[in-house]
Each structure stands twice: as structure tokens, then as C-alpha cells.
Amino acid sequence: MDNNCNTLDSAFHALADPTRRAVIQQLGKGSATVSELAAPFDMALPSFMKHIGVLESSGLIESRKIGRVRTCEIKAKRLADVEKWFDEQRKIWERRYENLDSLLNELNGDKNEY
Amino acid sequence: MNTKLQFDFLVDKQKNTLTIKKEFAASRQQVWDCYTKSELLDKWFAPKPLTTKTSFMNFKEGGYWHYVMIDPDGQEYWSRLDYETITPIENYTALDGFCDASGALNPDLPRSKWDVTFTEKSGNCLVQTIGYYNSTRALEQIIDMGMQDGMTSTLERLDELLVTLAQK
């Protein structure tokens, strides 16, 4: 319960700032690198990184560094992707097992004929 | 006919595991054979409308199954399953991996471990499959690839087709 409130608090705090709101808006269109996100702002990179840090610790976005490039994305999108993938895995197993059910029926049917 | 047979699909996002339980109206030996003989695997392992073709199979500890799933457009999805431990008709564990047509594993993608247990349940056979992904990061890499590789969209197309057919 407390934990939920803290998460909400930090999310509201994160969104109270216009720069951070703009970043969230931009990420809503898809993941982007920190330099892409920083481009529209007249701001030194260390200051911009502080905003990214606030968004990240609020749980609204996440970032990962590959080589020298840091890419950010909205976490809800990531969660939705994970949700979708599990749903598709479920479908794959359901279909696979439908096949196995009919194969076993077939094999048992054959056996009964002899 | 088999609508009463158990099917459970459980996701544990904390531990990054998938648990799938399925009951079959057949003996344990028969279901075990379907899981471990390539000529039988080829008949069921790919979800429709994909088909399975075995390229190589050596079902023993340290051996592997190298196979391809082919969609109706001819797109191929190669995988291999390396068998680690085998206790006949009870359990096997294996490492899943994405590879190419030669069987060479894709080193950039993580592998998942599968633990498959076969038990008798009042004349039927219950199969429990647990899939372990090393970390959230490993799982995410597989998800990212899955989003790109198109196999899932093949399944979506099938869903659309089934809806269309049902309307006729």
C-alpha cells in the first residue's frame, strides 16, 4: 500500500516538470536515444541526464546502454510487450497440444483396428 | 472429445518462468514417444499452420534435436534443443536455442532451459513443462526477437482466417 503511494508520488513528481513531460510524450511514439530526446532542448547534457534519472527512478521509463548509446523507452510499453508475448506463447502451446491430442487419437485409433 | 482434458498455462514474472500443464488421453509411454521421436515430433510440434521438419535427432544426454518450423509462405524458423538429462518416460531437461540451417547457435540470443515431466493420472498422462529464462533481460531479448521474426504474426493471420471462415 505504502509502496503504491510512493510510486504514485514519484510518478507525479516526475511529471510535474515540462521537460520531463515532453520526454514522456516523445517516448510515447517509440523508444529513442538520449541524444535524440535531448535535441529539442537548450540544455547541457548533464542537466538533461538528471531529468532522465528522475523519470527512470519513478518507474515511468527505462533505459539501457549499448556501447556508447543509451536508449530510453516507456515502461508501460515494455510491460504490454511482455504481456503480449506471453499471450502468444500460450497460443502456440494450445495449438501445439491440439495437434498432439489429435495425433494421439489417430495412433490409438490405428491400434484398435488391429 | 478432449475438451475435459486439463490445460494450464502459468507465468511467473518474478522468477521468469513459464509452467505449462497438459493432460493427454493416452499412456505415458505413448506421450513420451511423441515427445522424443523425431518422426512423431514432426507431426505435432509446430502450431498450425506451420509445419515441423527434423534435420537431425539424437535423443540422448548430450545429443540434440535440430529442426525447422516452416510457415505457409515458406519462411523458416530454425531451432535446436540440446538434451541435458533423460530419465525415460519420466523426465527430460534440455536447453532451447535459436540457430541457423546448419545448426550453429545464434550467440547473441540467450537460451532457455526446459524441464519436462511425465506422470500418470488415472489412466491419462499429465505433462508438466517448466521453461526457465535466465533473467528479465534474457526474456526481453527473446521477446524483442519474437516481435520481429514474424512467427506470431503468422498465428494472428490464422486467427483472422478462422474468424472469416466462421462468418461464412
CB < 8 Å to A93, chain B:
9, 20, 22, 47
Residue ranges making up the domain that contains B92: 7-167
pLDDT digits (tens, 9 = 90+) for B102-114: 999 988 888 999 9
pLDDT at residue A50 is higher than 50:
yes
Q: How confident is the model at residue B149, as a pLDDT? A: 64
Could you tell me if residue B81 is inside a domain? yes
Q: How confident is the model at residue A105, as a pLDDT? A: 94
Residue ranges making up the domain that contains A44: 2-75
Instruction: Please tell me the total count of domains within chain B.
Output: 1
- Which amino acid is present at A105? N
Could you tell me if residue A17 is inside a domain? yes
Alpha-helical (H) ranges within B37-102 are: 38-44
Could you tell me if residue B2 is inside a domain? no
C-alpha–C-alpha distance, residues A105 and B7, integer Å: 17
Could you tell me if residue A18 is inside a domain? yes
User: From chain B, which residues contact A within 8 Å (Cβ)?
Assistant: 1-2, 5, 7, 9, 11, 13, 18, 20, 22, 24-26, 30-31, 34, 40, 43-48, 139-140, 143, 146-147, 152, 155
Could you tell me if residue B103 is inside a domain? yes
- CATH number, domain containing residue A55: 1.10.10.10
pLDDT digits (tens, 9 = 90+) for A67-82: 889 999 988 776 777 7
C-alpha–C-alpha distance, residues B116 and B113, integer Å: 10
Could you tell me if residue A100 is inside a domain? no
- CATH number, domain containing residue B69: 3.30.530.20
Could you tell me if residue B85 is inside a domain? yes
Confidence band for B141, pLDDT divided at 50, 70 and 90? confident
Could you tell me if residue A95 is inside a domain? no
Put simply, the answer to whether B44 touches A100 (Cβ < 8 Å) is: yes
Inter-chain CB pairs, A–B, below 8 Å: 72
Could you tell me if residue B119 is inside a domain? yes
Q: How confident is the model at residue B69, as a pLDDT? A: 94
Could you tell me if residue A53 is inside a domain? yes
Instruction: Please tell me the total count of domains within chain A.
Output: 1
- The answer to whether A89 contacts chain B (CB < 8 Å) is yes
Mean pLDDT of chain B: 88
